[in-house]
Structure 1
């Protein structure tokens, strides 16, 4: 129980309430000497104060995470001797010098790279327990490599991305220059050593390519890249395909289980193919060989088919643009794609039905008189979930269905000249409705994932509390909505207001996680899906 500060006595002297810092805790918290402030009860009431303490969480305590400080563990434990030896001043061995005391604990100096790496590992890769259960997370793999064997290429890659993110999120131009220097060194080293690393340790090669891709996304400058439609990170995505192909040929059968890095790399390649209207290579299509199981495997199969559908649609659009009117051959191909899109939408809905009922959202209505900043919420309806991990599953589902129906809409536009007008108008209206409804579900789920609201359980009733803008969005939470927001911001058939809201949220996420690509895409609307 917290101690109570007693009111003033008649002697007008404050009761001494100075509290020594507890023996437990990290070295950083001890240096900061966090104490409860001693205040008098001026109004004749007892005031209760909670003493902030270090929770001693390994490897980083919550107080250091909140203040973004380097958490230094106490290396030596105090011996529990019966005889206590005083310091040389208290024991009388040496006369205490006059004047103000100097700092008894000198500050520990960390160079810029060390601070950036610790900031990146603790603040951007540290996830709560319910988020860690999400499949395909590479955060644990990065932390494992840092704490394990040293590989120069991995060390350079982690230093590069850490400095790049630190420079963006902390507005540190010196870190940006050092990140560029480290990345140049990394490219030279990778050019020489990548074949050897691929031969001896494919996981290390994939992790290095993943980090190099993230560096390109972080260092992206929209003003300098307007003339180039492709992002620099796409080059590293192609490199990851080559490495995965080597891994696949080494394990033609399902004998060697895929690691998390292999699984995550493949998922990133599929998303890259969707953005670039590329087909998924045949040897990469079957997720069973890359660690996909259960419902994840079913969803993976749908996503691969969506990517291939978009690739075939792009080919049809390019062929049709060369003709004044669509040919019969193109019309038949478009009809097949329309049937494929209808089958995929049905399969996606059937997959969603299999999601456990405990994962389903709960609907809340926000009062219209709530004093919130403009654009803080798009809809007066907010969805809450038992876990952020469950919400992330529904966000990805919504993004995939919007992608699919946007492709379906473009297929219908191709076959308009040979279609019955009444039936065609009805199909177009249904397709637009599915996109709008799915986008509303997505916009209603974003506030919960970004921790802008909190649900309090009270028996059968639930209370939804909306937080103000002073609540900071944590990077590992922001990264969960990056892909769904990227997709939503590129859906051209959405209403202008809703699409602008998605773009604004995407730009905000880019600034939080230090991604120049997301910030630029959100601000300029560079994606057209």
Structure 2
């Protein structure tokens, strides 16, 4: 092979423009100054081992430059919604693995040589038509989102390199097989395959218990990935009250991340796992009203930031969780007096400040992070809203599924902050009707606006535009590890279960909006294989009104040491009431059924309790 010179370590954009790159991470200053989207840097492996011909290199660079130019054009600000029409070009480079047509993963890898995960797509060299192979392909094409062009837009991307390891860890392989078979069984509606998935799950629990007892294995990437997959398994199957079954796995993953320390951020897989746990931790914190175990500074250090805008949104989510947990702690124990009233006013001020930061975050986003309104859906007289794909009103489109999920997190944070303001206002105003306060009108408007925004994002996330490409089509900066990218994906349903459940239980959601949201959850559970969504449709709660009524009952509790309570800045998880706005009987459950999983989590939690030192 002819020596081609020392490979450049610059970002893709600077190499394409043939200018000097300062190699600043995560985004080079050259791209920032010219207001270009920095696609990131090549993998260290690709810098050492280059296996492309010069012609292949040039073709890939031309495709990357063209895709970036198209994306910047399609997402330029527009005063009026305009449909985006396809340019008629062949899109086979973006959709590559179709099992039924016997197109191999190796071919997919060759078509996407410029991704940071180069070579990982050759996981399956031949089409696997047996059940295990079909389940594997189904999971990779529905739950594993791979970032392209060096960006950080991925989800479960760590699964592929762990599966391609020379020696795949048996506990990770069992956990992966359990998730793959469960998802495959749900979409096919095959009870025999569900039972098979449960047997594999039992095997995975035993293997992970062995790994947790081995000090050399417990800190490995495969162990943490296995814990995350077990949490996903609970959401897919919903064997044990959904959130109550998923929560212990997330708490165990948080403890493992804490023990692994900063060394885990030295590898690409370690960073991907850390971000995955951080994302799940935020969802768990906001949905259960429990405080995060560590503050935002610990979770969002410079080594763990792959996308600045996503990290800023997650920081706001963590701060929202801290405020909500503090409200729960004080309201569950404080009597109503002048000192406690001032404490509540201070929490209202903090919630407003974080909400303002959320608004500022949205206003300062670059074009490649913004959504567009594509069309307006007219009302349909006498329609069954539980069956409609699109709710009357706006229909928005996003650069990709990952960006849509980030926007969803921000909107849920704003709804929670507004609910906190209303709740604290009601506590301060009591016995006067809190709905007469000016704070109530503003907070209610924020809830209504964000509910509308979430509803407008659902059709895009559930693949509505995939059959209407004459309305909207774009090249995505992320793609699934297997299969066609523009088909219905289980991951989109997985992302949407929490936002849809949140607006379903909001006081400020209209009856037809609630019916529509419940119908979308039913669709996700029955057609996309996320059974957890079906359980959420059965919940009958309203927030913040139910919480306000509960707060009025707690305010009559015996007097406590107010100064001591107010001096406690951070509440321990055990001191916060689990006041997720669900049906009250769910919170009386001490732990979900399924003893092996409980023992697994208790072992991890006891191994890494809150007093253990952080790993180096």
Tell me the CA shift for residue 152 of structure 1. 0.5
SS in 2 for 1:383: strand
SS in 1 for 2:526: helix
Match of 1:380 among 393, 398, 401: 393
Matched, 1:145 2:176: no
Aligned CA-pair RMSD: 3.7
CA contact (8 A) 1:395 1:484 kept: yes
SS in 2 for 1:415: helix
The whole-number CA distance in structure 1 between the counterparts of 2:536 and 2:369 is 31
Residue aligning to 1:318: 332
Residue aligning to 2:363: 353
Residue aligning to 1:495: 510
Residue aligning to 2:496: 481
Tell me the CA shift for residue 268 of structure 1. 0.6
Within a 5 Å distance, the mapping from 1:279-294 to structure 2 comes to 279-282=291-294, 285-286=297-298, 287-288=300-301, 291-292=304-305, 294=308
Residue aligning to 1:61: 97
The whole-number CA distance in structure 1 between the counterparts of 2:314 and 2:142 is 30
Matched, 1:447 2:459: yes
The whole-number CA distance in structure 1 between the counterparts of 2:382 and 2:438 is 40
Match of 1:277 among 289, 303, 315: 289
Deviations 1:1-59 (A, max 9, x none): xxxxxxxxxxxxxxxxxxxxxxxxxxxxxxxxxxxxxxxxxxxxxxxxxxxxxx99899
CA contact (8 A) 2:289 2:325 kept: yes
Within a 5 Å distance, the mapping from 1:315-464 to structure 2 comes to 315-319=329-333, 326-363=336-373, 364-368=375-379, 374=385, 375-417=388-430, 425-453=437-465, 454=468, 456=470
Residue aligning to 1:24: none
The whole-number CA distance in structure 1 between the counterparts of 2:266 and 2:396 is 42
The whole-number CA distance in structure 1 between the counterparts of 2:253 and 2:441 is 40
CA contact (8 A) 2:285 2:291 kept: yes
Within a 5 Å distance, the mapping from 1:28-427 to structure 2 comes to 61-62=97-98, 64=99, 111-125=130-144, 135=153, 137-138=155-156, 140-149=157-166, 150-196=168-214, 199=217, 201-221=219-239, 231-248=244-261, 259-282=271-294, 285-286=297-298, 287-288=300-301, 291-292=304-305, 294-319=308-333, 326-363=336-373, 364-368=375-379, 374=385, 375-417=388-430, 425-427=437-439
SS in 1 for 2:158: helix
Tell me the CA shift for residue 296 of structure 1. 2.7
Tell me the CA shift for residue 523 of structure 1. 4.0
What is the TM-score of this pair, normalised by structure 1?
0.68
Tell me the CA shift for residue 171 of structure 1. 1.1
SS in 2 for 1:382: strand
The whole-number CA distance in structure 1 between the counterparts of 2:430 and 2:222 is 53
Higher relative contact order (CA 8 A, sep 6+): 2
The 3 A distance-change label for structure 1 pair 241 and 412 is same
Tell me the CA shift for residue 109 of structure 1. 8.7
Q: Which has the larger radius of gyration?
A: 1
The 3 A distance-change label for structure 1 pair 58 and 204 is farther
The whole-number CA distance in structure 2 between the counterparts of 1:125 and 1:504 is 26
CA contact (8 A) 1:274 1:307 kept: yes
SS in 2 for 1:281: coil
The whole-number CA distance in structure 2 between the counterparts of 1:512 and 1:133 is 31
CA contact (8 A) 1:306 1:404 kept: yes
Tell me the CA shift for residue 304 of structure 1. 0.9
Q: Could you tell me which runs of 5 or more consecutive residues in structure 1 were left unpaired when the two chains were aligned.
A: 1-54, 76-107, 459-470
The whole-number CA distance in structure 1 between the counterparts of 2:130 and 2:251 is 35
Q: Could you tell me which runs of 5 or more consecutive residues in structure 2 were left unpaired when the two chains were aligned.
A: 1-90, 108-126, 473-485, 542-579, 583-616
Residue aligning to 1:507: 522
The 3 A distance-change label for structure 1 pair 235 and 368 is closer
CA contact (8 A) 1:157 1:211 kept: yes
Deviations 1:368-404 (A, max 9, x none): 4699864332222222345444434333322221122
Tell me the CA shift for residue 261 of structure 1. 1.0
The 3 A distance-change label for structure 1 pair 476 and 235 is closer
The whole-number CA distance in structure 2 between the counterparts of 1:307 and 1:185 is 35
Q: How many residues align?
A: 414
The whole-number CA distance in structure 2 between the counterparts of 1:368 and 1:244 is 49
SS in 1 for 2:189: coil
Tell me the CA shift for residue 456 of structure 1. 4.0
What is the TM-score of this pair, normalised by structure 2?
0.60
CA contact (8 A) 1:153 1:208 kept: yes
